[in-house]
Structure 1
Amino acid sequence: MNKLKLDLIIERGEHDLAGRVTYNDSLIVDEAGNVHDLEEKLKLLLFEFENVEPETVVFEYFYDVYALFQEFDFLNIGKVAQRAGINAGLMRQYASQVKYPSATQARKIEDTIHKLAEDMSKALIYA
């Protein structure tokens, strides 16, 4: 079975996280309390409007800074900012959408998150 890979943009919604995908020039949008529920709702909408079988859809996630810190709420904004070389107050403004990062700043945040994940994947727990 061929998989359909779609970009899922995740950002701040009116009440929850909002997600949007484009398929066949159609914009499919919905909201949910978390990414898993959002993914399920969008797959259902893709099926209803475009007849795309849900099990064939694979999403690649693209988060805005607000959605990133909502979904991964265990991350300390100040510590991520410090590792990224960004002022902690500015990072909090990005996370609350008072300000929006430039492409360069967004890349620094993304690189930092990926480095944290890489570092954590190497951690071993001694018992």
Structure 2
Amino acid sequence: MKVNIKEAIDLYYETTNKKTPNYDFELVIDIQEFFKAKSYINVSTLAERIGMNASLLRQYLKGLKFPSMAQVGRIESTIRQIGDELSRTELQAS
């Protein structure tokens, strides 16, 4: 997604014959958007890994409740741990 945004910005400057500024940006999304984009993540299993009630995590995802920054940190940390585990996974053909 970040690559597409950068390409769109570069294309804009190219088509307007303006000099492309030197820029860098960070893509940040909220919990609801993250889980919409990553719908393959099992909420109950993630909640268990976080040590959080699955019902509470679902309420965050539906926008019925809003997590504190500490809760967001716990969720993000667990997601990053899972990502690290997946990136170290090596599969073999049987």
Aligned to 2:27: 61
Counterpart CA distance in 2 for 1:120 and 1:114 is 10
Task: Pick the structure with more strand per residue.
Answer: 1
SS of the residue aligned with 1:61? coil
Bigger CA radius of gyration? 2
Ranges in structure 2 where 5+ consecutive residues have no aligned partner? none
Of 80, 91, 94, 1:125 maps to 91
Counterpart CA distance in 2 for 1:99 and 1:42 is 34
Ranges in structure 1 where 5+ consecutive residues have no aligned partner? 1-34
How large is the Cα RMSD of the aligned pairs? 2.9
The answer to whether the 8 Å contact 1:66/1:97 transfers is yes
Normalised to the residue count of structure 1, the TM-score between the two structures is 0.58
Instruction: Name the CA shift for 1:64/1:89 in 2 (closer, same or farther; >3 Å).
Output: same
Report the identity percentage: 28
Counterpart CA distance in 2 for 1:101 and 1:52 is 42
Determine if the alignment matches structure 1 residue 84 to structure 2 residue 20.
Answer: no
Task: Pick the structure with more helix per residue.
Answer: 2
Aligned to 1:28: none
Of 70, 73, 91, 1:107 maps to 73
